[in-house]
Chains A and B, each alone.
Chain A
Amino acid sequence: MKVGAWRLAVGCAAVLALAAGGARADERQDRIERLEREIERLREEVEGLKEERAEAPPPAAKGTPGVAGGLTDRVKLGGYGSLRFEHNSADDTHDTFTFRRFVLTTDAAISPELRFYLELEFERFRALELERKVEVEEGGLKVEQEIEGTNESELALEQVWLEWAFTDALRLQAGGLLVPLGRFNINHDDNRWDLPRRSLADRGAPVLPVKSAWNELGVGFAGDVEVGEESKIDYRLYVMNGAIFEPEVEEILQTREPSRDKLELEGKFGVQTGVFGSDVKDDKAVTGRVAFSPALGHEMAGSFYYGRYTPDFLPSEAISAFGLDGLTTWGPFELEGEFLYSDFGDVDDIVTSFARTAVDQAAANPSETNPNFEAEIEFEVDQLAETRYGYWIEPRWRFRPQWLKDSVLGRAFEDPVLTAVLRWEQVWVDGLIQTFEFEAAEVTALEKVDRRLDRFTVGGSYRPVPLVAFQLAYEFTRADSGALSDVTNFLDSGDDEAHAILIGAAFGF
């Protein structure tokens, strides 16, 4: 009996154990099923979120600094450029295509308040190549250096600055900054203009101490302030190294018949943009511009520049310059203009001291010692004048005719625009040094002339989009006396007048 009871007890216990185990198994099964359902639900949710993210196209230019993709939003590359074909009636000129320039721009928004901007210009630039070789030869050492490049090539930093914007009204800027004299220099991008050549006062026979685009290394402030509901004032004020009186060295190789062949090195001193390294003088230049806009589309401004430009080895003479400029807009009609005046101080004093310092204007090896070959060095002053002043005025009329929008030229674009333009400009150059000779530290000849240059341009542009302009112009240029080459830097002709047809294209991106 006892054995049976035990067996029964064991059997019951076994059954109970099995039942309990079964219950736990059921519970586990329930839990597993619940977990599986939860996992399935979460999986569907994640799939749904993925689909939502995939459907939404990324909006343009969004991004936060520090997040992947932020760099491409913070740093933007752009540029502008132009080219031109010219037919000119003046002697010693040729029909030519000109690659005027390509300027690469970089704009980096480092932070909400800090910005960096750069413009790197390639002007008439195609190639620059340097080759250098060192050899042991004929018992000695030979060094060869060859520089190749296309004519008139220039590679330059047009702007390079850092800005700290405290507010709209107060922005600190430092670096290579555009000199705010007049309105053209600070708005010089080729694609902003409807004619294929820059103005005389800013470029061709510059009243600006340095031809546009003129930038100098310095620091200062800029800002704009709203005045009431309709008006605005904006200003720039900088301290800079400033323009300097500096040489270019020209090498001339010449064969002559029956005279002996010649190698000449010419040091041409003229007013040029200042240094980005060690300045040649202690004095700094100050420049500024204040513009008042009484209402949208209208602006008038005054600007100035003052700074020593002579190096330490010459007497201190300063450039004093001022400008007045303006723009007015009435519907499709615009009128824009600028007047500039530059005074270069006592140029007589400059050339007298220059003669004293350089001693002799020219020196050459005597023909007795070398009858077949002449080597000469020479010093000159280039385009130095007592004062320069001039203006340009440019009325424009913009058309949006329906026939253009319907034509093959315009139908692919949202807002194609035709613009008719006139430009009238004059430049006066007073006290232009035409002859300057010195010997034994004394000036032996100094001749100055006064010149006036007039130019009339009529033309227009077609803009399929705002950043691109196809330009056509007729230009008549005349000097009141002497040669165009005396007063311009783009017409190397002995004629006193020239007619030109210009066809150009300017672009930006």
Chain B
Amino acid sequence: MMKRTPSLSARRSVSERLRVFVFVVLAAGAGRVHADEVYLTPDEAPAAVFPDADRFERSEVTATEELRNEVRARLGKLRPTVWEAKYPVAAAYRGDERLGRAIVVEEVGKHRAITFVVGVDSSGEVAGVAVMAYREPYGGEVRSRRFLAQYKGKSGDDALTPGADVRNLAGATLSARAIGRGVKKAIAVLATVEVPPLHAGHR
């Protein structure tokens, strides 16, 4: 039997290590929130906006250029500050009834990104919003239930502008606007794609 040469073995080992490393980096960077100021993990996020669901089917939407163009067209003058590479999506079910879909998005407040999950029901209205990670020194009240509850029932046709159709937070205007932008972006992405589940999962 021919003995493997060290160079070939080393190359295979390097390749395998490379694949493992790339996987770890991608898993760490996309779909998992920043390690700082984390209030919800990706696993917990869908249940935060669909508390009545008994199972979730998770998948991922890759943000192709075509998707981005369609989302831009839906958003009009609104300009997101973050274009994610992928959107983690979870379809929420209670029994056989599909309640809606939860999607994780990010938008920059004043200087740093806010990561949050938006639940959109089957009629395209917001079922809930929850902040997963908040990183600014001020304006953290956007995480509060009383602020985020304002978005429930809103649709992509609403302005979602603090001070207009949503109450503003004094001292947190930029964070409040980031939430509004992110919610509209989430609605637009989900309206653009029909996400097939990669696998049937359980809560």
Given known A-B contacts A46-B15, A107-B111, A168-B140, A61 and B135 have beta carbons under 8 A apart: yes
- Determine the interface band of chain B, counting residues with CB < 8 A from chain A: 35 or more
27 A–B contacts from the bound complex (CB under 8 Å): A31-B2, A35-B8, A42-B12, A45-B19, A59-B30, A59-B85, A60-B113, A61-B111, A62-B113, A63-B34, A64-B35, A73-B112, A76-B112, A78-B111, A107-B136, A109-B37, A112-B36, A115-B137, A117-B137, A226-B145, A232-B141, A329-B168, A400-B164, A414-B79, A415-B161, A415-B164, A415-B177
Q: Enumerate chain B interface residues (CB-CB to A < 8 A).
A: 2, 8, 11-12, 15, 18-19, 22, 28-30, 34-38, 77-79, 81-86, 106, 108, 110-113, 135-137, 140-141, 144-147, 149-150, 161, 163-164, 167-171, 173-174, 177
Given known A-B contacts A61-B108, A64-B35, A187 and B113 have beta carbons under 8 A apart: no
* Set of chain A residues within 8 Å of B83, measured between Cβ atoms: 57, 59
Beyond A42-B11, A61-B106, 15 extra complex contacts between A and B, CB < 8 Å: A49-B22, A57-B85, A59-B113, A64-B34, A78-B110, A109-B37, A111-B36, A112-B38, A115-B137, A224-B141, A229-B149, A231-B146, A296-B150, A414-B78, A466-B174
Q: Enumerate chain A interface residues (CB-CB to B < 8 A).
A: 27-28, 31, 35, 38-39, 42, 45-46, 49, 53, 56-65, 73, 76, 78, 107, 109, 111-112, 115, 117, 163, 168, 187, 192, 224, 226, 229-232, 295-297, 299, 327, 329, 332, 398, 400, 414-415, 417, 466-467
Q: Check A466–B177 contact: CB distance below 8 A.
A: yes
Q: Check A232–B135 contact: CB distance below 8 A.
A: no
Q: Check B82–A59 contact: CB distance below 8 A.
A: yes
Q: Check B140–A296 contact: CB distance below 8 A.
A: no
Q: Check B145–A466 contact: CB distance below 8 A.
A: no
* Set of chain B residues within 8 Å of A230, measured between Cβ atoms: 146
A413 closest partner in B (C-beta):
B77
Q: Check A332–B37 contact: CB distance below 8 A.
A: no
Given known A-B contacts A229-B146, A466-B177, A60 and B108 have beta carbons under 8 A apart: yes
* Set of chain A residues within 8 Å of B171, measured between Cβ atoms: 187, 192
* Set of chain B residues within 8 Å of A56, measured between Cβ atoms: 30, 85-86
A-B contact count (CB 8 A): 116
* Set of chain A residues within 8 Å of B82, measured between Cβ atoms: 59-61
Given known A-B contacts A28-B2, A60-B82, A76-B111, A112 and B161 have beta carbons under 8 A apart: no
- Which residue of the partner chain, among A28, A64, A398, A467, contacts B163 with CB atoms under 8 Å? A398
A168 to B34, CA, bound (A): 18
Query: From residue B84, how far is it (CB to closest CB) to chain A in Å?
Result: 6
Q: Check A62–B29 contact: CB distance below 8 A.
A: yes
* Set of chain B residues within 8 Å of A64, measured between Cβ atoms: 28, 34-35
* Set of chain B residues within 8 Å of A28, measured between Cβ atoms: 2
Q: Check A232–B85 contact: CB distance below 8 A.
A: no
* Set of chain A residues within 8 Å of B86, measured between Cβ atoms: 56
* Set of chain A residues within 8 Å of B77, measured between Cβ atoms: 414
- Which residue of the partner chain, among B8, B106, B150, B177, contacts A60 with CB atoms under 8 Å? B106
* Set of chain A residues within 8 Å of B79, measured between Cβ atoms: 414
**A contacts with B: majority SS:** mixed
- Which residue of the partner chain, among A27, A38, A231, A327, contacts B170 with CB atoms under 8 Å? A327
Query: From residue B42, how far is it (CB to closest CB) to chain A in Å?
Result: 14
Query: From residue B188, how far is it (CB to closest CB) to chain A in Å?
Result: 15
Q: Check A187–B170 contact: CB distance below 8 A.
A: yes
Query: From residue B159, how far is it (CB to closest CB) to chain A in Å?
Result: 8
Q: Check A296–B173 contact: CB distance below 8 A.
A: no
Q: Check B2–A27 contact: CB distance below 8 A.
A: yes
A429 to B38, CA, bound (A): 50
A53 to B174, CA, bound (A): 31
B135 closest partner in A (C-beta):
A109
* Set of chain B residues within 8 Å of A27, measured between Cβ atoms: 2
* Set of chain A residues within 8 Å of B8, measured between Cβ atoms: 35, 39
* Set of chain A residues within 8 Å of B135, measured between Cβ atoms: 61, 109
Q: Check B11–A39 contact: CB distance below 8 A.
A: yes
* Set of chain A residues within 8 Å of B12, measured between Cβ atoms: 38, 42
A112 closest partner in B (C-beta):
B36
Q: Check A297–B168 contact: CB distance below 8 A.
A: yes
A63 closest partner in B (C-beta):
B34
A28 to B108, CA, bound (A): 59
B166 closest partner in A (C-beta):
A296
* Set of chain B residues within 8 Å of A299, measured between Cβ atoms: 170
Q: Check A61–B22 contact: CB distance below 8 A.
A: no
Query: From residue A295, how far is it (CB to closest CB) to chain B in Å?
Result: 7
User: Which 3 residue pairs are nearest across A and B when measured between Cβ atoms?
Assistant: A56-B85, A61-B113, A76-B111
* Set of chain B residues within 8 Å of A76, measured between Cβ atoms: 111-112
Q: Check B137–A232 contact: CB distance below 8 A.
A: no
A398 closest partner in B (C-beta):
B163
Q: Check A297–B112 contact: CB distance below 8 A.
A: no
B28 closest partner in A (C-beta):
A64
* Set of chain A residues within 8 Å of B136, measured between Cβ atoms: 107
Q: Check B145–A59 contact: CB distance below 8 A.
A: no
* Set of chain B residues within 8 Å of A31, measured between Cβ atoms: 2
A298 closest partner in B (C-beta):
B167
Given known A-B contacts A46-B15, A414-B78, A112 and B22 have beta carbons under 8 A apart: no
